[in-house]
């Protein structure tokens, strides 16, 4: 596999009367608009399943709500989710030990002060703020922090790029007294304060473990043998030699295995991802992408059933129903998700930095960037996190809109099929 990197520019837009501090952790301050909207009652998704276990509430007037746009359906509300829209929502829901301010400097968030660093630079001690609570009212303690970092140190770590950062930088994490967390580093590394301690969102041990139990109740009904057999069958059929021909047989397409994958997930009592979360760019659904997501879930079941202890939980974490009704320590708590419409959050009075002055946050799902740009211009939304080049000139001419740009990382990837018998299995072919 070949890998190259490219530096791009990400554009963000703030509309009309929004008063927002946009940093790595988002903090909402001030009233955003005085335009009211009709109240709406809670709705269920297309399958008839409730989108939140909380009691129904009406949507708050716009004067109390900060609205921003996301370009696709969220995949989950778990810290394991890696899609851009869900990560933005997660910054309202969860907190890390530290946060990055507007100059990208680490500041205490759940921590009381910067870490105390021993003379050798390898032992860091972090004191937590007293009386911090999660959205469900339970108290944050060092065990929750240790639990989260153990997930990150697991070979089955579910936290994306933070996994390699954690494993490369940390040897161990342990509790120290009522409010202390002790981190043992492999080598002195001051960058960990910004790259890991300010990015890894802390999750509550109790609710996550309860969610794991519910997951295992269903997964064990399926059993590891059935999971392994299905994964092997899909792999064999989609990578058969005939798939390289001009007219590959039907089983070569991953989408032809959707029924079997869905059936196994249903037997494990796991929800299926929303098809609308995999748009094909032409108004329909991308069946191959949807099938790939199903296969990934089946593979995670197999990893979980084949592991134990914290490694089992780390493998199962992306599948837990904790991601449907998340509990964090962020400035806003999860209220409800209306598929095809919006995700709604409510102010959390017990937030570490104090209650936000905005009562509600709504992530409006707007897949068409042109529609999102129009919504910003008309004041229907207050912030558009990213815009394409074609929208820049249009919005730049609107006096009521402010556009900001920042360097953004990019990755260009070339992937080679290096299985035995394939052309690129020969290193000379890849490097020629």
Task: Quote the pLDDT of residue 98.
Answer: 97
226: which 2 tokens? 């059935």
Q: Is the pLDDT of residue 408 over 70?
A: no
Residue 62 has pLDDT above 70, yes or no: no
* Mean pLDDT on 249-253: 93
Question: Which of 84-98, 184-198, 200-214, 394-408 comes out lowest in average pLDDT?
Answer: 394-408
- CA separation for the pair 390, 219 (Å, rounded): 47
* pLDDT, averaged across the chain: 84
Q: Using 50, 70 and 90 to split pLDDT, how confident is the model at 210?
A: very high
- Give the CA distances from residue 278 to residues 50, 134, 275, 283, in Å, rounded to whole numbers and listed in that order: 21, 32, 6, 10
- Count of alpha carbons within 13 Å of 344, Cβ hemisphere only? 26
Structure confidence by residue, pLDDT tens digits, 276-332: 888 887 878 899 999 999 999 999 999 999 999 999 999 999 999 999 999 999 999
Does the pLDDT of residue 352 top 90, yes or no?
Answer: no
End-to-end distance of the chain based on CA atoms, in angstroms? 13
Q: Is the pLDDT of residue 204 over 60?
A: yes
Element (H, E) at 65: strand 65-70
The mean pLDDT value for 14-20 works out to: 47
C-alpha distances (whole Å) from 235 to each of 252, 261, 373 are 9, 12, 42
Number of other residues whose CB lies within 10 A of the CB of residue 18 = 23
Token pair of 379 as six digits: 């004041």
Give the mean pLDDT of 326-342. 95
Lowest pLDDT segment from 114-128, 332-346, 395-409: 395-409
Number of residues that this document lists for the chain: 432
- Is the distance from CB of 100 to CB of 25 less than 8 angstroms? yes
Mean pLDDT of the 360-369 span: 93
For residues 24-48, give the mean pLDDT.
34
What confidence score (pLDDT) does residue 1 get? Answer: 37
The residue whose two tokens read 């021909």 is 245
Question: What b/e string do you get for 372-404 counting C-beta neighbours within 10 Å, with b at 16 or more?
Answer: bbbbbbebbbbbbbbbeeebeeebeeeeebeee
Question: Which of 56-65, 70-79, 251-260 shows the lowest mean pLDDT across its residues?
Answer: 56-65
Q: Which residue in 400, 317, 260, 247 sits closest to 78, CA to CA?
A: 317
- Residues 365 and 149: their CA atoms lie apart, in Å, by 32
**21 backbone dihedrals φ, ψ, rounded to 5°:** -100, 115
The pLDDT of residue 325 is: 93
Backbone φ and ψ for 171, nearest 5 degrees, come out as -95, -40
Q: What is the DSSP letter of 273?
A: P
pTM of this structure: 0.80
* pLDDT tops 50 at residue 84: yes
Query: Mind listing the pLDDT tens digit for each residue in 140-160?
Result: 999 999 999 999 999 999 999
């Amino acid at each position: 596999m070949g890998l190259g990197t490219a530096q791009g520019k990400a554009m963000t837009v703030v509309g009309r009367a929004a008063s927002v501090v946009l940093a790595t952790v988002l903090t909402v301050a001030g009233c955003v608009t005085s335009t009211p909207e009709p109240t709406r009652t809670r709705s269920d998704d297309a399958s008839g399943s409730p989108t939140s276990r909380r009691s129904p509430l009406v949507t708050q007037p716009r004067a109390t709500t900060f609205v921003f746009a996301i370009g696709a359906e969220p995949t989950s509300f778990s810290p394991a989710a890696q899609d851009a829209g869900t990560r933005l929502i997660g910054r309202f829901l969860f907190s890390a030990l530290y946060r990055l301010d507007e100059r990208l400097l680490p500041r205490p968030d759940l921590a009381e002060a910067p870490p105390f660093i021993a003379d050798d630079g390898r032992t860091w001690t972090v004191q937590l703020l007293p009386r911090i609570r999660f959205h469900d009212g339970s108290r944050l303690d060092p065990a929750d922090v240790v639990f989260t970092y153990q997930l990150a140190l697991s070979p089955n770590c579910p936290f994306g790029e933070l996994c390699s950062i954690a494993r490369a930088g940390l040897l161990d994490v342990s509790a120290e007294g009522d409010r202390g967390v002790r981190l043992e580093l492999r080598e002195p590394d001051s960058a960990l304060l910004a790259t890991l301690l300010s990015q890894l969102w802390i999750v509550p041990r109790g609710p996550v473990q309860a969610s794991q139990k519910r997951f295992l109740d269903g997964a064990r009904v399926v059993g590891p043998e059935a999971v392994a057999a299905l994964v092997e069958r899909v792999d064999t059929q989609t990578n058969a030699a005939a798939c390289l021909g001009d007219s590959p047989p039907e089983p070569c397409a991953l989408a032809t295995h959707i029924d079997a994958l869905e059936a196994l997930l249903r037997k494990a009592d796991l929800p299926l991802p929303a098809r609308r979360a995999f748009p094909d760019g032409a108004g329909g659904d991308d069946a191959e992408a949807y099938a790939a997501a199903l296969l990934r879930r089946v593979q995670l079941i197999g990893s979980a059933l084949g592991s134990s202890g914290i490694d089992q939980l780390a493998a199962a974490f992306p599948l837990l129903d904790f991601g449907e009704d998340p509990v964090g320590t962020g400035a806003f708590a999860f209220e409800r998700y209306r598929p095809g419409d919006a995700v709604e959050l409510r102010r959390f009075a017990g937030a570490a930095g104090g209650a936000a002055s905005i009562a509600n946050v709504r992530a409006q799902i707007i897949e068409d960037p042109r529609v999102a740009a129009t919504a910003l211009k008309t004041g229907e939304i207050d912030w558009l996190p990213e815009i394409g080049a074609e929208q820049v000139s249009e919005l730049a001419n609107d006096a009521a809109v402010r556009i900001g740009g920042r360097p953004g990382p990019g990755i260009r990837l070339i992937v080679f099929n290096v299985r035995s018998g394939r052309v690129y299995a020969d290193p000379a072919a890849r490097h020629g």
